[in-house]
């Protein structure tokens, strides 16, 4: 990487941070350090908060091995290697008035023409930086570091450009050179208020080359406001030039619509003459429109406040394109004089230079556009949103996005679309880049952004902040508090904690801390990352309300608003607690929500080792997150879902909105950090937590050991840990809630006599020796999970894996599963394995497949459970399965008592159960006898 020379401030920061760089003790005698670990030595360490009882390992410390997760990641890494980062930088460069190197931004939400006026542009760049940083930390591949360096260097240039007055951009012109306003740069020329000099007649002539076809962009606009003005627009609503003049607003305009268009990307000569009652509009020297009934002219407008080239008095797009040879005369040129301007500059034409103003526009740089009329009417090159931005500001759109938010009272994403959300993505990407590569420029950019935010927000009244953060979409700020707290952990600056607290949304904090559920109707992903930030704010301040709010919030989402695959939200919003079946739609389970719920669960687990957090983490990771990534390569898009519809027969869309939404961004990040929660260490180094069963290798430098986890899980139902190195620590093995009978742990082939309880961690205390092998058996069973508000609507699981039915039907399928239920309660005997396709089964002629497979097959995550007849071991009793008023059937009650140690035990339970149903009047004595006889003759799988 090429890092510029540091100034004194940068040098002091570098020396101060030297002590924060991670130490990599020698692993001599165990194994050579991988290239990724060596590469990470150029990065920086984020100190673990003292409040955390557990410590995560760096991505460089845990490498993925061959298997499901590595295969998914490989697809994303290919995309990351090949994508031209200059395309993402284009929006930053044009906003700063810098050359774009010919790059074109992606479409969708990113880009100048993105959804809602491109008001979220720049967010995807932040996600991409985070992805590259994680990819580099995980693999050590230089291509990722090089792309990071390119992006950081460009962002440094952009911030420098934003912090100074704009300078003209010189381009080849119609005669010599010209000046250009790039699309997205918001640049225009301001002429002096004396430019018309009280003229009663007027001719305006210029060469223009539009670079974009936006309607109503102005070639010139002279006026006070939207009541008194005259303008020439390059395109009206029909794509044709229009001149208009008025002293009474738009409804009283007098004007001309031309009969010929100005082609995008081509030079065209336009001229307007005004004299007495006649106005004439010319295109390329030919009359394109004439109005002979004019009553207004420059004299009627009088002295005006604004004389602009390229800018509008209305909220119209700024003209994007080039200007050349702009002239103004105090008389109406003749048709012949205008025609002559088609072939030569005004300075050489019969009309001569404009006597009011004449701009050759040959300036190579600077802000001044020189007037050669002899009247010294020099123009100034400006940005619509002001001169230099405030120090530290960095974005891909104007600072006005942030300023306007401060007075908004309702959402309007066409005006302002979540500027602090976008700032978070950029800030997070910068911090990740610094932590991965040690590039001090990234840290300086991050500090500058936070200093700039503090300078704005600290001056606002508390009531204004509460209003801002409560506005849907426009006030969304993502995980910015978490990022600010991470920066504080690096810098120790008190202003950074103060800044983080300025984002407190008190209504949310107080309600969640007090277990008052107010989530109904709230935008899900606007709020989930707020709580992750609150955990970090607790870490930095010690204030208990923040941690209490995060815990309370988590319990309001899991399981009360959680779909079986781990996702949450419908159409981006939450509904009333416990309503699952009633919210099934094509827009369930926004991928960003799952990504951020994983982060929150992980962070809460650092504080409180409640297995429920990692149970959720596994569910969402192995199902929704893996299933949100399509299993194919693409050079242009990351191919991840936005929503995952849970309606019957839904087909996943892996390229929504052209592939640059928030969910593609979090999808990129998820796929490059799959290993981040496989292992954790106790804060004092006394224990190693095995949370996830993922093929991977941990290099635990502090203990001098390597722990290799070998498994094909979830295809394989066990895992093996091989220890290299000698150390004493407790191995904490998660005993999953889903595990079936037969869970076992063996060390060096000897089974341990330990009481393994599902939903706990099993402690294996030992002084480990190099070569020790731990084998963990994790038997799967097939089970169902019912929706909280409709027990007949169910999902099917095999161990941790959601099995979705592949079927194009758009109605819920009717599925029965008790027919061959095992004595253990396992429903697996009712399914038929598909040969050669692990984790695939058939049932009633339909295929069931793991949800994590990223295909475009229509799927059914939920189905209607139907057990109309009492059946045992495949034997049909012919008796209808009775159902209580609460929806629980006889078979439900019977199998809820599993496991049964023997057929005799099951029959004894069935006898007492059916007797109570007869007593309750729900079953006849004759049907009871038939049921018992059928069960006695049935053959049950253990």
Higher pLDDT residue, 37 or 754?
Answer: 754
pLDDT tens readout for residues 710-735: 999 999 999 999 999 999 999 999 99
pTM here is 0.91
The torsion of the CA quartet 286, 289, 290, 295, rounded to 10 degrees, works out to: -130
Alpha-carbon distances, residue 875 vs 901, 930, 931, 936 (angstroms): 21, 12, 10, 10
Confidence of residue 42 (pLDDT cuts 50, 70, 90): low
764 and 902: one domain?
no
Mean pLDDT of the chain: 94
Q: How far apart are CA 532 and CA 550, in angstroms?
A: 7
252 and 357: one domain?
yes
Q: Percentage of residues in the chain with pLDDT exceeding 90?
A: 93
Confidence of residue 163 (pLDDT cuts 50, 70, 90): very high
**412 domain-assigned:** no
**262 domain-assigned:** yes
In DSSP notation, 520-577 reads: TT-BHHHHHHHHHHHHHHHHHH--HHHHHHHHHHHHHHTTTTB-TTS-B-BTTB--ST
Task: Give the pLDDT mean for 805-828.
Answer: 97
pLDDT tens readout for residues 515-572: 999 999 999 999 999 999 999 999 999 999 999 999 999 999 999 999 999 999 999 9
Contacting residues for 904 by C-beta, under 8 A, at least 6 apart:
none
Confidence of residue 6 (pLDDT cuts 50, 70, 90): very low
pLDDT tens readout for residues 175-192: 999 999 999 999 999 999
Q: Percentage of residues in the chain with pLDDT exceeding 70?
A: 96
176 and 323: one domain?
yes
**239 domain-assigned:** yes
**690 domain-assigned:** yes
371 and 236: one domain?
yes
Q: Which of 742, 760, 777 lies at the terminal end of a domain, its last residue?
A: 777
Asked if residue 4 has pLDDT above 70, the reply is no
Looking at 19-23, 66-70, 447-451, 718-722, which range is the least confident one?
19-23
Q: How far apart are CA 622 and CA 644, in angstroms?
A: 15
Q: How far apart are CA 400 and CA 385, in angstroms?
A: 6
Contacting residues for 910 by C-beta, under 8 A, at least 6 apart:
894, 931, 932, 935
**615 domain-assigned:** no
**198 domain-assigned:** yes
Q: Which of 354, 383, 412 lies at the terminal end of a domain, its last residue?
A: 383
Q: How many helices (H) and strands (E) does the chain have?
A: 25, 39
Q: Count up the domains in the chain and report the number.
A: 3
pLDDT tens readout for residues 274-328: 999 999 999 999 999 999 999 999 999 999 999 999 999 999 999 999 999 999 9
> Which residue in the block uniquely carries the two structure tokens 């007849």?
869
773 and 871: one domain?
no
Q: With beta carbons less than 8 A apart as the criterion, state whether 352 and 362 touch.
A: no
Print the domain residue range for 737.
Answer: 682-713+718-777
Backbone angles phi and psi of 480, in degrees to 5: -65, -30
**60 domain-assigned:** no
Q: Which of 777, 793, 823 lies at the terminal end of a domain, its last residue?
A: 777
Confidence of residue 39 (pLDDT cuts 50, 70, 90): very low
Asked if residue 151 has pLDDT above 60, the reply is yes
Give the single-character DSSP code of 741. Answer: T
pLDDT tens readout for residues 636-654: 999 999 999 999 999 999 9
Give the pLDDT score at 112.
Answer: 87
Give the pLDDT score at 426.
Answer: 98
Q: What is the CATH number of the domain that holds 767?
A: 2.60.40
Q: What is the CATH number of the domain that holds 359?
A: 2.60.120.200
**598 domain-assigned:** no
């Amino acid at each position: 990487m090429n890092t510029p020379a540091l100034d004194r401030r940068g040098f002091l920061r570098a020396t101060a941070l030297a002590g924060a760089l991670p130490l990599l003790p020698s692993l001599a005698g165990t194994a050579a350090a991988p290239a990724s670990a060596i590469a990470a030595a150029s990065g920086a360490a984020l100190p673990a908060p003292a409040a955390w009882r557990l410590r995560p390992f760096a991505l460089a410390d845990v490498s993925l091995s061959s298997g499901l997760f590595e295969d998914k990641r490989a697809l994303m890494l290919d995309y990351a290697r090949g994508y031209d980062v200059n395309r993402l930088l284009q929006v930053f460069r044009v906003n700063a008035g810098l050359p774009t190197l010919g790059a074109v931004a992606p479409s969708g939400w990113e880009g100048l023409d993105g959804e809602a006026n491109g008001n979220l542009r720049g967010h995807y760049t932040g996600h991409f930086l985070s992805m590259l940083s994680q990819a580099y930390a995980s693999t050590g591949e230089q291509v990722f570091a090089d792309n990071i360096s390119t992006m950081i260097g460009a962002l440094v240039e952009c911030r420098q450009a934003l912090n100074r007055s704009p300078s003209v951009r010189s381009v080849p012109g119609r005669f010599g050179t010209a000046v250009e306003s790039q699309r997205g740069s918001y640049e225009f020329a301001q002429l002096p208020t004396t430019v018309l000099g009280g003229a009663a007649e007027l001719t305006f002539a210029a060469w223009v080359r539009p670079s974009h076809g936006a309607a109503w962009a102005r070639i010139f606009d002279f006026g006070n406001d939207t009541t008194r003005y005259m303008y020439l627009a390059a395109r009206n609503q029909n794509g044709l030039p229009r001149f208009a003049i008025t002293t009474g607003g738009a409804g009283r305009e007098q004007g001309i619509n031309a009969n010929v268009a100005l082609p995008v990307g081509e030079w065209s000569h336009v001229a307007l003459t005004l004299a007495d009652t006649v106005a004439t509009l010319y295109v390329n020297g030919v009359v394109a429109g004439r109005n002979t009934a004019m009553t207004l002219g420059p004299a009627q407008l009088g002295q005006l406040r604004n004389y602009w080239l390229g800018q509008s008095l209305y909220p119209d797009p700024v003209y994007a394109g080039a200007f050349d040879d702009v002239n103004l005369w105090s008389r109406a040129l003749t048709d012949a004089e205008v025609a002559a301007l088609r072939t030569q500059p005004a300075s050489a034409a019969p009309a001569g230079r404009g006597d009011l103003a004449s701009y050759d526009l040959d300036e190579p740089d600077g802000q001044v556009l020189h007037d050669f009329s002899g009247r010294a009417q020099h123009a100034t090159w400006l940005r619509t949103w002001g001169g230099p931005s405030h120090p530290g500001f960095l974005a891909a759109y104007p600072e006005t996005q942030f300023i306007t938010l401060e007075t908004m009272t309702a959402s309007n994403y066409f005006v302002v679309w979540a500027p602090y959300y976008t700032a978070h993505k950029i800030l997070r990407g910068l911090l990740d880049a610094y932590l991965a590569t040690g590039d001090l420029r990234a840290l300086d950019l991050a500090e500058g952004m936070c200093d700039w935010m503090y300078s704005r927000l600290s001056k606002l009244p508390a009531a204004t902040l509460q209003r801002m953060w409560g506005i849907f979409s426009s006030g969304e700020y993502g995980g910015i508090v978490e990022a600010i707290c991470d920066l504080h952990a690096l810098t120790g600056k008190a202003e950074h904690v103060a800044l983080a607290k300025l984002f407190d949304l008190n209504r949310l904090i107080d309600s969640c801390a007090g277990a008052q559920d107010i989530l109904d109707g709230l935008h899900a992903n606007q709020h989930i990352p707020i709580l992750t930030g609150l955990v970090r704010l607790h870490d930095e301040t010690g204030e208990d309300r923040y941690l209490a709010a995060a815990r309370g919030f988590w319990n309001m989402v899991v399981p009360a608003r959680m779909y079986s695959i781990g996702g949450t939200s419908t159409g981006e919003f939450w509904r009333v607690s416990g309503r699952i079946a009633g919210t099934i739609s094509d827009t369930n389970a926004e991928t960003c929500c799952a990504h951020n719920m994983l982060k929150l669960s992980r962070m809460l687990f650092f504080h409180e080792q409640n297995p429920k957090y990692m149970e959720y983490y596994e569910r969402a990771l192995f199902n929704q997150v893996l299933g949100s990534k399509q299993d194919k390569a693409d050079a242009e898009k990351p191919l991840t879902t936005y929503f995952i519809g849970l309606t019957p027969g839904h087909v996943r869309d892996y390229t929504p909105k052209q592939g640059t939404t928030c969910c593609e961004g979090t999808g990129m990040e998820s796929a490059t950090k799959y290993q981040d929660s496989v292992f954790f260490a106790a804060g004092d180094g006394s224990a190693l937590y095995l949370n996830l069963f993922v093929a991977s290798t941990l290099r635990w430098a502090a203990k001098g050991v390597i722990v290799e986890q070998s498994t094909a899980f979830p295809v394989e139902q066990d895992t093996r840990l091989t220890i290299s190195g000698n150390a004493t620590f407790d191995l904490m093995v998660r005993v999953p809630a889903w595990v079936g009978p037969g869970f076992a742990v063996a060390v060096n082939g000897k089974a341990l006599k330990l009481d393994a309880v599902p939903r706990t961690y099993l402690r294996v205390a030992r002084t480990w020796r190099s070569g020790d092998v731990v084998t963990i058996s994790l038997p799967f069973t097939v089970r169902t999970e019912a929706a909280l508000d409709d027990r007949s609507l169910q999902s099917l699981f095999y161990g941790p894996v959601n099995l979705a039915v592949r079927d194009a039907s758009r109605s819920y399928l009717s599925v029965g599963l008790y027919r061959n239920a095992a004595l253990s309660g396992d429903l697996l005997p009712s399914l038929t394995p598909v040969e050669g396709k692990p984790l695939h089964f058939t049932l009633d002629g339909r295929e069931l497949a793991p949800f994590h497979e990223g295909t475009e097959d229509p799927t059914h995550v939920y189905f209607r459970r139907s057990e109309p007849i009492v059946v045992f071991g495949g034997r049909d009793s012919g008796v209808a399965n009775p159902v209580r008023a609460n929806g629980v059937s006889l078979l439900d009650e019977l199998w809820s008592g599993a496991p049964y140690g023997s057929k005799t035990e099951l029959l004894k339970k069935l006898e007492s159960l059916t007797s109570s149903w007869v007593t309750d009047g729900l079953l006849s004595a004759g049907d009871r006898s038939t049921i018992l006889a059928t069960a006695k003759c049935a053959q049950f799988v253990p």
